[in-house]
Protein backbone atom coordinates (compact mmCIF):
# COMPACT_ATOMS: atom_id res chain seq x y z
CA UNK A 1 0.00 0.00 0.00
CA UNK A 2 2.83 2.38 0.87
CA UNK A 3 5.49 3.14 -1.74
CA UNK A 4 7.47 5.82 0.09
CA UNK A 5 11.11 5.31 0.82
CA UNK A 6 11.65 5.28 4.58
CA UNK A 7 14.56 6.96 6.29
CA UNK A 8 16.84 4.30 7.74
CA UNK A 9 18.04 4.47 11.33
CA UNK A 10 21.43 6.13 11.16
CA UNK A 11 23.95 7.02 13.81
CA UNK A 12 25.35 9.83 11.72
CA UNK A 13 23.39 12.64 10.15
CA UNK A 14 23.85 11.62 6.55
CA UNK A 15 20.30 12.17 5.34
CA UNK A 16 19.50 15.74 6.39
CA UNK A 17 20.76 18.90 8.04
CA UNK A 18 24.06 18.94 6.16
CA UNK A 19 24.42 22.57 7.18
CA UNK A 20 24.63 21.57 10.84
CA UNK A 21 27.76 19.45 11.07
CA UNK A 22 29.98 21.59 13.25
CA UNK A 23 28.79 20.43 16.70
CA UNK A 24 26.73 17.66 18.16
CA UNK A 25 23.49 19.20 19.40
CA UNK A 26 22.44 19.00 23.01
CA UNK A 27 19.12 17.34 23.76
CA UNK A 28 16.75 18.65 26.43
CA UNK A 29 13.88 16.20 26.72
CA UNK A 30 11.08 17.58 28.89
CA UNK A 31 8.57 14.90 29.85
CA UNK A 32 5.54 15.77 31.96
CA UNK A 33 3.21 13.34 33.67
CA UNK A 34 -0.53 12.90 33.00
CA UNK A 35 -0.97 16.19 31.14
CA UNK A 36 -4.22 16.54 29.22
CA UNK A 37 -4.03 16.96 25.46
CA UNK A 38 -5.95 20.25 25.62
CA UNK A 39 -4.05 21.68 28.60
CA UNK A 40 -1.35 23.63 26.75
CA UNK A 41 -1.81 26.83 24.82
CA UNK A 42 -0.51 25.41 21.56
CA UNK A 43 -3.38 22.91 21.68
CA UNK A 44 -5.96 25.58 22.46
CA UNK A 45 -6.08 25.74 26.26
CA UNK A 46 -7.81 28.91 27.50
CA UNK A 47 -7.77 28.71 31.30
CA UNK A 48 -4.14 27.66 31.93
CA UNK A 49 -1.58 29.97 30.33
CA UNK A 50 1.51 28.05 29.19
CA UNK A 51 3.59 30.73 27.44
CA UNK A 52 6.92 29.01 27.93
CA UNK A 53 5.81 25.57 26.82
CA UNK A 54 4.18 27.30 23.85
CA UNK A 55 7.54 28.90 23.00
CA UNK A 56 8.83 25.48 22.02
CA UNK A 57 6.00 25.02 19.52
CA UNK A 58 6.34 28.59 18.23
CA UNK A 59 10.10 28.27 17.86
CA UNK A 60 9.81 25.00 15.96
CA UNK A 61 7.23 22.34 15.26
CA UNK A 62 3.93 21.32 16.82
CA UNK A 63 2.94 17.69 16.23
CA UNK A 64 -0.83 17.41 15.97
CA UNK A 65 -0.64 13.63 15.75
CA UNK A 66 2.02 13.02 18.39
CA UNK A 67 1.75 9.72 20.25
CA UNK A 68 3.38 7.76 23.03
CA UNK A 69 3.87 4.00 22.95
CA UNK A 70 1.64 3.21 25.93
CA UNK A 71 -1.20 4.84 27.82
CA UNK A 72 0.33 4.72 31.32
CA UNK A 73 3.55 5.93 32.87
CA UNK A 74 6.06 3.11 33.19
CA UNK A 75 5.78 1.35 29.83
CA UNK A 76 5.57 4.69 28.04
CA UNK A 77 8.89 5.73 29.62
CA UNK A 78 10.48 2.40 28.78
CA UNK A 79 9.63 2.94 25.12
CA UNK A 80 10.83 6.54 25.18
CA UNK A 81 14.20 5.78 26.77
CA UNK A 82 14.99 2.82 24.48
CA UNK A 83 13.44 3.95 21.18
CA UNK A 84 11.74 0.55 21.02
CA UNK A 85 8.22 -0.70 21.60
CA UNK A 86 8.38 -1.85 25.19
CA UNK A 87 6.50 -5.08 24.42
CA UNK A 88 9.61 -6.26 22.59
CA UNK A 89 11.33 -6.69 25.96
CA UNK A 90 8.37 -7.41 28.23
CA UNK A 91 7.90 -4.01 29.88
CA UNK A 92 4.13 -4.17 29.51
CA UNK A 93 3.16 -3.18 33.05
CA UNK A 94 3.77 -0.38 35.49
CA UNK A 95 6.55 -1.69 37.73
CA UNK A 96 6.14 -2.02 41.47
CA UNK A 97 8.49 -0.30 43.89
CA UNK A 98 10.79 -3.16 44.82
CA UNK A 99 14.26 -1.98 45.84
CA UNK A 100 15.66 -5.51 46.14
CA UNK A 101 14.43 -6.93 42.83
CA UNK A 102 16.79 -6.58 39.83
CA UNK A 103 14.04 -7.80 37.49
CA UNK A 104 11.46 -5.17 38.47
CA UNK A 105 12.22 -2.53 35.88
CA UNK A 106 13.94 -1.94 32.55
CA UNK A 107 15.75 -5.19 31.65
CA UNK A 108 19.53 -4.94 31.56
CA UNK A 109 19.38 -6.40 28.08
CA UNK A 110 18.11 -3.02 26.87
CA UNK A 111 20.18 0.00 25.92
CA UNK A 112 19.02 3.42 27.03
CA UNK A 113 19.37 6.65 25.09
CA UNK A 114 21.88 7.81 27.69
CA UNK A 115 24.02 4.72 27.14
CA UNK A 116 23.98 5.32 23.41
CA UNK A 117 24.83 9.01 23.67
CA UNK A 118 27.71 8.24 26.04
CA UNK A 119 29.34 6.57 23.03
CA UNK A 120 29.33 9.99 21.39
CA UNK A 121 30.83 11.70 24.48
CA UNK A 122 27.63 13.24 25.81
CA UNK A 123 27.13 14.10 29.45
CA UNK A 124 23.75 12.79 30.62
CA UNK A 125 21.48 13.65 33.53
CA UNK A 126 18.10 12.30 34.60
CA UNK A 127 15.95 14.66 36.65
CA UNK A 128 12.68 13.85 38.38
CA UNK A 129 10.67 10.68 37.95
CA UNK A 130 12.54 7.50 37.03
CA UNK A 131 10.01 4.62 37.32
CA UNK A 132 12.27 2.21 35.44
CA UNK A 133 13.47 0.23 38.45
CA UNK A 134 14.46 0.92 42.06
CA UNK A 135 17.01 -1.85 42.61
CA UNK A 136 20.64 -0.72 42.49
CA UNK A 137 21.45 -2.17 39.07
CA UNK A 138 18.41 -0.50 37.48
CA UNK A 139 18.96 3.05 38.71
CA UNK A 140 19.95 5.94 36.43
CA UNK A 141 23.68 5.89 37.19
CA UNK A 142 23.77 2.26 36.07
CA UNK A 143 21.81 2.99 32.88
CA UNK A 144 24.10 5.53 31.23
CA UNK A 145 23.39 8.69 33.20
CA UNK A 146 26.25 10.57 34.82
CA UNK A 147 23.97 12.37 37.25
CA UNK A 148 20.55 11.95 38.80
CA UNK A 149 18.34 14.13 40.95
CA UNK A 150 14.87 12.89 41.73
CA UNK A 151 13.01 9.80 42.86
CA UNK A 152 12.73 6.20 41.74
CA UNK A 153 9.01 5.60 42.16
CA UNK A 154 6.03 6.09 39.86
CA UNK A 155 4.81 9.08 41.88
CA UNK A 156 5.84 11.40 44.68
CA UNK A 157 4.63 13.93 47.20
CA UNK A 158 5.39 17.48 46.06
CA UNK A 159 5.78 19.28 49.38
CA UNK A 160 9.08 18.74 51.22
CA UNK A 161 7.44 18.47 54.64
CA UNK A 162 5.82 15.26 53.38
CA UNK A 163 9.17 13.60 52.64
CA UNK A 164 9.46 11.91 56.04
CA UNK A 165 11.05 8.59 55.05
CA UNK A 166 14.84 8.61 55.06
CA UNK A 167 15.28 5.92 52.44
CA UNK A 168 13.67 3.05 50.56
CA UNK A 169 14.07 0.64 53.47
CA UNK A 170 11.73 2.64 55.68
CA UNK A 171 8.99 2.01 53.11
CA UNK A 172 6.41 -0.56 54.16
CA UNK A 173 4.01 -0.46 51.22
CA UNK A 174 3.87 0.52 47.55
CA UNK A 175 2.65 4.08 47.92
CA UNK A 176 4.68 4.91 51.02
CA UNK A 177 7.61 5.19 48.60
CA UNK A 178 6.14 8.52 47.51
CA UNK A 179 7.31 9.93 50.85
CA UNK A 180 11.00 9.15 50.54
CA UNK A 181 13.58 11.90 50.50
CA UNK A 182 14.98 12.76 47.11
CA UNK A 183 18.16 11.27 45.72
CA UNK A 184 21.17 13.12 44.36
CA UNK A 185 22.96 10.34 42.55
CA UNK A 186 23.06 7.67 45.30
CA UNK A 187 22.68 9.92 48.32
CA UNK A 188 19.49 11.10 50.03
CA UNK A 189 19.27 14.87 50.37
CA UNK A 190 17.44 17.44 52.47
CA UNK A 191 15.45 19.36 49.86
CA UNK A 192 13.44 22.38 50.97
CA UNK A 193 11.80 23.48 47.71
CA UNK A 194 8.50 22.52 46.12
CA UNK A 195 9.39 19.50 44.00
CA UNK A 196 8.70 21.02 40.59
CA UNK A 197 10.76 24.10 41.48
CA UNK A 198 13.62 21.92 42.72
CA UNK A 199 13.75 20.01 39.43
CA UNK A 200 13.74 23.25 37.43
CA UNK A 201 16.56 24.63 39.58
CA UNK A 202 18.66 21.52 39.03
CA UNK A 203 18.02 21.64 35.28
CA UNK A 204 19.26 25.22 34.98
CA UNK A 205 22.30 24.42 37.11
CA UNK A 206 23.20 21.45 34.95
CA UNK A 207 23.03 23.51 31.78
CA UNK A 208 25.43 26.02 33.30
CA UNK A 209 27.84 23.30 34.42
CA UNK A 210 27.90 21.56 31.04
CA UNK A 211 27.70 24.47 28.63
CA UNK A 212 30.97 23.40 27.00
CA UNK A 213 30.01 19.74 26.56
CA UNK A 214 27.35 18.07 24.47
CA UNK A 215 24.71 17.01 26.97
CA UNK A 216 21.47 15.08 27.20
CA UNK A 217 19.05 16.25 29.87
CA UNK A 218 16.08 14.04 30.64
CA UNK A 219 13.86 16.41 32.64
CA UNK A 220 10.99 14.21 33.80
CA UNK A 221 8.61 16.34 35.84
CA UNK A 222 6.04 14.29 37.75
CA UNK A 223 3.57 17.18 37.56
CA UNK A 224 0.66 17.28 37.05
CA UNK A 225 0.33 13.66 38.22
CA UNK A 226 -1.60 13.21 41.47
CA UNK A 227 -1.47 13.94 44.36
CA UNK A 228 -2.73 17.41 43.57
CA UNK A 229 -0.44 19.72 45.55
CA UNK A 230 0.66 23.26 44.76
CA UNK A 231 2.06 26.23 46.65
CA UNK A 232 0.24 29.52 47.12
CA UNK A 233 2.59 31.13 44.59
CA UNK A 234 0.98 29.10 41.82
CA UNK A 235 -2.52 28.72 43.26
CA UNK A 236 -2.89 32.50 43.46
CA UNK A 237 -2.63 32.71 39.68
CA UNK A 238 -5.96 30.93 39.22
CA UNK A 239 -8.52 32.67 41.39
CA UNK A 240 -10.95 32.61 38.46
CA UNK A 241 -11.08 28.78 38.43
CA UNK A 242 -13.78 27.73 40.87
CA UNK A 243 -13.29 23.96 40.72
CA UNK A 244 -10.57 23.27 43.30
CA UNK A 245 -9.28 20.18 41.55
CA UNK A 246 -8.89 22.04 38.26
CA UNK A 247 -7.41 25.03 40.08
CA UNK A 248 -4.72 22.96 41.76
CA UNK A 249 -4.02 21.12 38.54
CA UNK A 250 -3.65 24.46 36.73
CA UNK A 251 -1.23 25.65 39.41
CA UNK A 252 0.89 22.53 38.95
CA UNK A 253 1.00 22.98 35.19
CA UNK A 254 1.92 26.63 35.69
CA UNK A 255 4.85 25.61 37.90
CA UNK A 256 6.11 23.37 35.11
CA UNK A 257 5.69 26.20 32.62
CA UNK A 258 7.81 28.49 34.80
CA UNK A 259 10.51 25.82 34.89
CA UNK A 260 10.43 25.38 31.13
CA UNK A 261 10.86 29.12 30.82
CA UNK A 262 13.89 29.06 33.11
CA UNK A 263 15.48 26.32 31.01
CA UNK A 264 14.82 28.10 27.71
CA UNK A 265 16.07 31.40 29.09
CA UNK A 266 19.31 29.87 30.34
CA UNK A 267 19.92 28.25 26.96
CA UNK A 268 19.42 31.67 25.37
CA UNK A 269 21.69 33.45 27.85
CA UNK A 270 24.49 30.93 27.33
CA UNK A 271 24.04 31.07 23.54
CA UNK A 272 23.23 27.36 23.44
CA UNK A 273 19.77 27.58 21.90
CA UNK A 274 20.88 27.15 18.29
CA UNK A 275 22.75 23.99 19.21
CA UNK A 276 20.08 22.42 21.42
CA UNK A 277 17.12 20.28 20.45
CA UNK A 278 14.31 20.83 22.96
CA UNK A 279 11.39 18.40 23.03
CA UNK A 280 8.26 18.65 25.14
CA UNK A 281 5.63 15.94 25.57
CA UNK A 282 3.48 14.11 28.12
CA UNK A 283 3.98 10.45 29.03
CA UNK A 284 0.30 9.67 28.33
CA UNK A 285 -3.06 11.36 28.13
CA UNK A 286 -4.80 13.08 31.01
CA UNK A 287 -6.64 10.86 33.53
CA UNK A 288 -9.45 13.45 33.69
CA UNK A 289 -11.32 12.92 36.97
CA UNK A 290 -8.16 11.90 38.85
CA UNK A 291 -6.37 15.21 38.34
CA UNK A 292 -8.76 17.60 36.63
CA UNK A 293 -7.09 17.35 33.22
CA UNK A 294 -8.76 17.93 29.87
CA UNK A 295 -8.21 15.91 26.70
CA UNK A 296 -10.41 18.21 24.63
CA UNK A 297 -12.15 16.55 21.74
CA UNK A 298 -10.25 13.31 22.16
CA UNK A 299 -12.14 10.28 23.40
CA UNK A 300 -10.91 8.51 26.50
CA UNK A 301 -8.26 9.07 29.13
CA UNK A 302 -5.03 7.74 30.59
CA UNK A 303 -5.02 3.95 30.37
CA UNK A 304 -7.24 3.85 27.27
CA UNK A 305 -6.25 2.96 23.73
CA UNK A 306 -8.55 5.66 22.43
CA UNK A 307 -6.83 8.88 21.41
CA UNK A 308 -7.25 10.45 24.84
CA UNK A 309 -4.91 7.86 26.31
CA UNK A 310 -2.12 7.87 23.74
CA UNK A 311 -2.16 11.17 21.77
CA UNK A 312 -0.30 13.84 23.74
CA UNK A 313 0.91 17.44 23.58
CA UNK A 314 4.16 17.16 21.60
CA UNK A 315 6.46 19.92 20.31
CA UNK A 316 10.11 20.30 19.30
CA UNK A 317 12.46 23.18 18.59
CA UNK A 318 15.93 23.38 17.09
CA UNK A 319 16.40 27.00 16.24
CA UNK A 320 18.21 27.64 13.00
CA UNK A 321 17.42 24.15 11.74
CA UNK A 322 13.68 23.62 12.25
CA UNK A 323 11.82 26.64 10.81
CA UNK A 324 9.67 28.65 13.16
CA UNK A 325 6.00 27.82 13.61
CA UNK A 326 5.65 24.54 11.72
CA UNK A 327 2.60 22.33 12.22
CA UNK A 328 3.30 18.71 11.35
CA UNK A 329 0.19 16.56 10.89
CA UNK A 330 1.52 13.10 10.05
CA UNK A 331 1.72 10.61 12.94
CA UNK A 332 4.88 10.57 15.02
CA UNK A 333 5.67 8.74 18.24
CA UNK A 334 7.84 9.27 21.31
CA UNK A 335 10.19 6.55 20.07
CA UNK A 336 11.28 8.96 17.34
CA UNK A 337 13.11 11.19 19.81
CA UNK A 338 15.74 8.45 20.13
CA UNK A 339 16.02 8.08 16.37
CA UNK A 340 16.23 11.81 15.83
CA UNK A 341 19.06 12.61 18.24
CA UNK A 342 21.32 9.69 17.33
CA UNK A 343 21.10 10.76 13.70
CA UNK A 344 22.74 14.06 14.68
CA UNK A 345 25.81 12.63 16.40
CA UNK A 346 29.17 12.98 14.68
CA UNK A 347 30.46 9.72 16.14
CA UNK A 348 29.32 6.54 14.35
CA UNK A 349 27.29 4.56 16.87
CA UNK A 350 26.60 0.85 16.92
CA UNK A 351 23.28 0.10 18.57
CA UNK A 352 22.70 -2.98 20.69
CA UNK A 353 19.22 -3.42 19.19
CA UNK A 354 17.42 -2.10 16.16
CA UNK A 355 15.05 0.69 17.16
CA UNK A 356 11.50 1.48 16.16
CA UNK A 357 11.94 5.25 16.24
CA UNK A 358 13.07 7.18 13.16
CA UNK A 359 14.93 10.42 12.53
CA UNK A 360 12.16 13.00 12.19
CA UNK A 361 14.28 15.77 10.71
CA UNK A 362 13.87 14.89 7.00
CA UNK A 363 10.11 14.74 7.50
CA UNK A 364 9.84 17.96 9.47
CA UNK A 365 12.02 19.81 6.95
CA UNK A 366 10.01 18.52 4.00
CA UNK A 367 12.87 16.52 2.51
CA UNK A 368 10.81 13.35 2.85
CA UNK A 369 7.13 13.82 1.99
CA UNK A 370 6.09 10.39 3.27
CA UNK A 371 4.78 9.60 6.71
CA UNK A 372 7.50 8.65 9.22
CA UNK A 373 5.57 5.46 10.02
CA UNK A 374 3.13 3.42 7.98
CA UNK A 375 1.65 2.07 11.21
CA UNK A 376 1.79 2.71 14.95
CA UNK A 377 0.98 -0.02 17.47
CA UNK A 378 -0.28 -0.31 21.03
CA UNK A 379 -0.78 -3.39 23.18
CA UNK A 380 -2.23 -3.86 26.68
CA UNK A 381 -1.27 -7.42 27.54
CA UNK A 382 -3.25 -7.79 30.76
CA UNK A 383 -6.41 -6.34 29.23
CA UNK A 384 -6.09 -8.44 26.07
CA UNK A 385 -6.60 -5.19 24.16
CA UNK A 386 -4.68 -3.58 21.34
CA UNK A 387 -4.82 -0.82 18.76
CA UNK A 388 -3.19 0.05 15.46
CA UNK A 389 -3.19 3.34 13.62
CA UNK A 390 -2.47 3.62 9.91
CA UNK A 391 -0.72 6.72 8.54
CA UNK A 392 -3.81 7.64 6.54
CA UNK A 393 -5.96 7.86 9.70
CA UNK A 394 -7.58 4.44 9.81
CA UNK A 395 -7.42 2.96 13.30
CA UNK A 396 -8.60 -0.24 14.93
CA UNK A 397 -9.21 -0.77 18.63
CA UNK A 398 -9.83 -4.32 19.82
CA UNK A 399 -10.95 -5.32 23.31
CA UNK A 400 -12.28 -8.66 24.59
CA UNK A 401 -15.83 -7.40 24.06
CA UNK A 402 -15.67 -5.09 21.06
CA UNK A 403 -13.91 -4.50 17.74
CA UNK A 404 -13.79 -0.95 16.42
CA UNK A 405 -12.69 0.86 13.28
CA UNK A 406 -12.31 4.64 13.16
CA UNK A 407 -11.18 7.14 10.57
CA UNK A 408 -9.35 9.76 12.58
CA UNK A 409 -9.14 12.23 9.72
CA UNK A 410 -12.91 12.52 9.72
CA UNK A 411 -13.60 11.56 13.33
CA UNK A 412 -10.87 12.59 15.75
CA UNK A 413 -13.26 11.95 18.65
CA UNK A 414 -13.74 8.29 17.66
CA UNK A 415 -17.52 8.47 17.84
CA UNK A 416 -18.42 6.54 14.70
CA UNK A 417 -17.48 2.86 14.82
CA UNK A 418 -17.14 1.85 11.15
CA UNK A 419 -16.56 -1.83 11.88
CA UNK A 420 -19.76 -2.93 10.11
CA UNK A 421 -18.82 -1.01 6.95
CA UNK A 422 -15.03 -1.46 6.85
CA UNK A 423 -14.55 -5.20 7.06
CA UNK A 424 -11.67 -5.27 4.58
CA UNK A 425 -9.90 -2.42 6.35
CA UNK A 426 -10.32 -4.15 9.70
CA UNK A 427 -9.00 -7.49 8.46
CA UNK A 428 -6.00 -5.92 6.76
CA UNK A 429 -5.05 -3.94 9.84
CA UNK A 430 -5.65 -6.94 12.09
CA UNK A 431 -3.24 -8.95 9.95
CA UNK A 432 -0.65 -6.17 10.15
CA UNK A 433 -0.98 -6.02 13.93
CA UNK A 434 -0.64 -9.80 14.24
CA UNK A 435 2.57 -9.77 12.22
CA UNK A 436 4.01 -7.04 14.47
CA UNK A 437 2.96 -8.87 17.64
CA UNK A 438 4.97 -11.97 16.72
CA UNK A 439 8.16 -10.22 17.87
CA UNK A 440 6.76 -9.27 21.29
CA UNK A 441 7.19 -11.19 24.53
CA UNK A 442 5.09 -11.61 27.66
CA UNK A 443 5.60 -9.24 30.60
CA UNK A 444 8.77 -10.05 32.54
CA UNK A 445 7.54 -8.73 35.90
CA UNK A 446 4.34 -8.31 37.91
CA UNK A 447 2.75 -4.86 37.89
CA UNK A 448 0.83 -2.45 40.09
CA UNK A 449 -2.35 -4.50 40.00
CA UNK A 450 -0.38 -7.48 41.32
CA UNK A 451 0.84 -5.80 44.51
CA UNK A 452 -0.69 -8.33 46.92
CA UNK A 453 0.47 -11.30 44.88
CA UNK A 454 3.99 -9.89 44.69
CA UNK A 455 4.14 -9.36 48.46
CA UNK A 456 3.27 -13.01 49.04
CA UNK A 457 6.16 -14.23 46.91
CA UNK A 458 8.57 -11.51 48.08
CA UNK A 459 8.13 -11.23 51.86
CA UNK A 460 11.42 -9.33 52.19
CA UNK A 461 10.44 -6.80 49.53
CA UNK A 462 11.36 -3.74 51.64
CA UNK A 463 13.93 -5.31 53.97
CA UNK A 464 17.45 -3.99 53.69
CA UNK A 465 19.80 -6.75 52.51
CA UNK A 466 22.33 -7.97 55.07
Provide CB contacts within 8 A for 387, sequence distance 6+. 305, 310, 377, 378, 395, 396, 397, 398
Q: Confirm if 110 and 462 have CB atoms less than 8 A apart.
A: no
- At residue 233, φ and ψ (nearest 5 deg) are -50, -45
Catalytic-labelled residue, pool 4, 45, 124, 131: 131
Please state at what angle helix 51-59 crosses helix 244-269, rounded to 10 degrees: 50
236-241 long-range contacts, Cβ below 8 Å, gap at least 24?
A: 238/47, 238/48, 240/47, 241/47
- For residue 62, what are the β-bridge partners? 315, 327
Q: What is the phi-psi region of residue 460: left when phi exceeds 0, alpha when psi lies from -120 to 50, beta otherwise?
A: alpha
- At residue 48, φ and ψ (nearest 5 deg) are -125, 100
Q: Confirm if 150 and 130 have CB atoms less than 8 A apart.
A: yes
CB count within 10 Å of CB 184 equals 14
Please give the DSSP secondary-structure letter assigned to residue 159: S
370 is catalytic: no
225 is catalytic: no
Name the 3-class secondary structure at 407.
strand
> Alpha-carbon distance 341 to 275, whole Å?
12
> Alpha-carbon distance 15 to 7, whole Å?
8
Residue 348: asked if its preceding bond is cis (omega within 30°), the reply is: no
- For residue 29, what are the β-bridge partners? 218, 279
Catalytic-labelled residue, pool 73, 124, 156, 373: 73
Catalytic residues: 73, 131
Amino acid sequence: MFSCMKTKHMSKNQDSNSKVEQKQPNLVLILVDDLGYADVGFNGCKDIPTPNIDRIAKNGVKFTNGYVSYSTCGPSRAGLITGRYQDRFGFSRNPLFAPNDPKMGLPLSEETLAEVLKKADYRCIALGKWHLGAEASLRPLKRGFDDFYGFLTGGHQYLPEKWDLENEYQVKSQYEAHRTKLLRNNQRVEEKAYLTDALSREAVSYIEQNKNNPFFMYLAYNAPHAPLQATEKYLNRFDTIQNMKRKTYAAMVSAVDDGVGEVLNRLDELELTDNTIVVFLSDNGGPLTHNGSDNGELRGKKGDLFEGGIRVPFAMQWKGVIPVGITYDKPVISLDIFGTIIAQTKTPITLKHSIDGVNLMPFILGENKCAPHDYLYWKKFDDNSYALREANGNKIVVTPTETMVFNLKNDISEQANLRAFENTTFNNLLKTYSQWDIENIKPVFLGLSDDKEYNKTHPNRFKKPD
